[in-house]
Amino acid sequence: MSNCLCLACDRANPLTTKFCTQCGAKLQIQERYRALKVIGQGGFGKTFLTQDEGKPSQPRCVIKQFIYEDPATLREAQRLFEQEAVRLDDLGKHNQIPELLAHCEQDGRQYLVQEFIDGENLLQELKRSGRFSEAKIKDLLLDLLPVLQFIHAGNVIHRDIKPDNIIRRRSDGKLVLVDFGAAKVATQTSLQRTATIIGSPEYTAPEQARRKPVYASDIYSLGMTCLYLLTQIPPFDLFSDSENKWVWRQFLNGILVSNNLGRVLDKMIEPLPSRYQTIEEILQDLNPPKKPPAISTPISSPPVPSVATPQAPKPSFFSGLFSQPSQTPVSTSSNSSILDCGNGVKLELVKVAGGSFKMGSNRHAGEKPVHRVNLREFLIGKYAVTQAQYQAVMGNNPSHFKGAQNPVEQVSWHDAISFCEKLSQKSGQKVRLPTEAEWEYAARGGNQSKGYKYAGSNNLSDVAWYRENSGRETHPVGQKKANELGIYDMSGNIREWCLDDWHNSYQCKPDRLKNNGNEPWGVMDLKRNANEPWLGRVSCVGALHLRQLRGGSWSCFDCRAALRLSFDARNQTYFIGFRLLLASFS
């Protein structure tokens, strides 16, 4: 039967009718999505099981509809549903996130149409099968943490992780994270603002309850979800006020939990800053490296002591990158240079003559103030680093969208730095990531610039693969029009790492960097150790671990040459890659 969408009617109608026989309301959304029955209802909406009559197979999907009683409720519901549509669309396609199929308004009400996930949520599974074992909790974490890693890489905080919002798909047993109505865009600006309190209180992190959610707030909620599934005790009852600590182990009732998993769960629900900050940290602790077997050493005579010869300190990879190179400079007699990546794979760089330009824009606060920057000559990759080039140097290809000539993606800032180190050793030339000043200068066409909005044109489709024309995937490099310098894809296909530390604006940029755009902002002032290549801070930084991103990608609309974004240097996602730079300084 076809369920009427009218709130005052809710009548069942024959599947062949297009209008309700009771009230005359339309029975289809966008003339194709027909509601079959109500399968859920919450504070802001009603959910219907739906069939898509626009396809021959008429597959099942889900319609989410507003419910409201007063104007204030309507405004909040509209905001949340609009937000969910934007978040689902921005995140693109992930096998464990419902796909957004449509978002529209009809008869004065708004609707989301999403992929239907056939299965039961973990709350239903708990009631049917009983409390989860340690093995089942660990499987849950290993299945769901990469999904959470994916949404965080897209700068989104879910904010409502709980058993009800995790569905085990019947077809393959995979866990699917649903209900992004509470999701928040986690840009630096939005994280500094006070957010609406959203989420189920018993699973909500303390900082989220104070309207200051961060990525680690989702980690807390997932940890509390695991504890509820282990104990079947409401989360509020797992904390002892008299002891001022979590006492969830008292409610295990015979279920064995190893010390390793126990420590992981404890750290997931710690107050900030003791809680895990990234998904990678949890995954590492869930699967700690095995200790190598002890090697027995035969007893022998003690060695004859020797006098240690002082060793010169090993030079850092970054030493000498920003001064006159000691080796023979790359020839600048032509407009390009070729580096050998190995296995017959070459990498071409284009010469960018020195000059000055106005950096930034007045469009966004993070791009202000516009200021003049001077640069010396350098060579920059004609294309973003491809998968073939990355494979030749690193011996692996982490990319989601496979293709030898497609840009490599799913590489962290640290992965890009490692690539530079290895290619420098192999080629004998010190290559690195560009500074953001070098990147923007090259994208704008250097001293050949014609003042375009994008890298090579005012028409984005001419020079970029972006949201409207990419088909939600990367494409082989060099298929679009080059910019004034013969450089490709700086406004689309893939966002690109820069060497600089992230700063929230140009407001306190030092004068020395305005006079020398070839020096990265902040990196030279930071310390380096085995755990985090760049520790310590400089003024005006955004947050620990954030690095600079430039350019547009296949997944976005804003691809301007002045666009600047921040991203966690440790994270990997399939809209971020990089291109190389080689100092020339003739």
User: 3-class secondary structure for 527-564?
Assistant: ECCCCCCCECCCCCECCCCEEEEECCCCCCCCCCCCCE
Cα separations in angstroms, 300 against 116, 297, 426: 70, 9, 42
Residue 333 class from Cβ within 10 Å (0-12 exposed, 13-18 middle, 19+ buried)? exposed
Residue 304: its pLDDT value, please? 34
Residue 76: its pLDDT value, please? 57
Backbone angles phi, psi at 534, to 5 degrees: -135, 90
Q: Is 251 helix (H, G, I), strand (E, B) or coil?
A: helix
Q: How far apart are CA 403 and CA 388, in angstroms?
A: 8
Residue 535: its pLDDT value, please? 31
Cα separations in angstroms, 341 against 56, 416, 419, 461: 49, 14, 10, 31
**Could you tell me which residues are beta bridge partners of residue 371?**
359
190: enclosing H helix or E strand: helix 188-192
Pair of tokens at residue 90 = 């921005």
Bond before 369 cis per omega within 30 degrees: yes
Report whether 409 contacts 474 (CB < 8 A): yes
Residue 289: its pLDDT value, please? 53
CA angle, residues 181, 246, 274, in degrees to nearest 5: 70
127: enclosing H helix or E strand: helix 122-129
CA angle, residues 564, 514, 537, in degrees to nearest 5: 65
> Within 10 Å of residue 450's Cβ, how many Cβ atoms?
11
Full 3-state SS string of 477-513: CCCCCCCCCCCCCCCCCCEEEEEEECECCCCCCCHHH
Q: Phi-psi region for residue 583, left (φ > 0), alpha (ψ -120 to 50) or beta?
A: beta
Residue range 120-286 in CATH 1.10.510.10: yes
Q: Quick one: how far is CA 230 from the chain centroid?
A: 30
Pair of tokens at residue 129 = 């099968």
Domain boundaries, the chain: 2-115, 120-286, 336-583
Residue 21: its pLDDT value, please? 85
Catalytic residue among 52, 70, 143, 160: 160
Residue 226 class from Cβ within 10 Å (0-12 exposed, 13-18 middle, 19+ buried)? buried
Tens-digit pLDDT string for the chain (586 aa): 888 887 678 788 888 888 888 888 888 888 888 888 888 776 556 788 899 888 888 888 888 776 655 555 556 556 655 665 665 666 656 888 888 787 777 877 778 788 888 999 999 999 999 999 999 999 999 999 999 988 887 778 888 899 999 999 998 899 999 876 544 433 333 334 444 445 578 899 998 888 888 999 999 999 999 999 999 999 999 998 888 899 999 999 888 999 999 999 999 999 998 999 999 899 989 876 554 444 333 333 333 333 333 343 334 444 445 544 333 333 344 678 999 999 999 999 999 999 999 999 998 888 999 999 999 999 999 999 999 999 999 999 999 999 999 999 999 999 999 999 999 999 999 999 999 999 999 999 999 999 999 999 999 999 999 988 999 899 999 999 999 999 999 999 999 999 998 888 899 899 999 999 999 997 433 333 333 333 333 334 444 578 899 999 998 888 999 999 888 888 888 899 999 999 865 4
Q: Is 459 helix (H, G, I), strand (E, B) or coil?
A: coil
Closest-CA residue to 203 (of 215, 192, 214, 218): 218
Closest-CA residue to 567 (of 441, 415, 419): 415
Secondary structure E strands in 53-106:
60-66, 100-106
Q: Is 426 helix (H, G, I), strand (E, B) or coil?
A: helix
Cα separations in angstroms, 43 against 3, 293, 423, 534: 20, 57, 56, 46
Active site residue 52: no
Backbone angles phi, psi at 19, to 5 degrees: -130, 145
Q: Which amino acid does the sequence have at 107?
A: D
Residue range 336-583 in CATH 3.40.50.170: no
CATH class, domain 2-115, is alpha beta
